[in-house]
Amino acid sequence: MFCLLIAIAAAADFNAWKLANKKHFSLAENLRRRAIFNKNAKFVEAFNKQHSFECQ
* 40/43 Cα distance (integer angstroms): 5
Confidence of residue 28 (pLDDT cuts 50, 70, 90): very high
CA distances (Å), origin 23, targets 9, 12, 34: 19, 14, 12
Tens of pLDDT, residues 2-26: 555 555 566 677 888 888 888 888 9
Say if residue 39 is exposed, middle or buried (CB neighbours under 10 Å; 0-12, 13-18, 19+): exposed
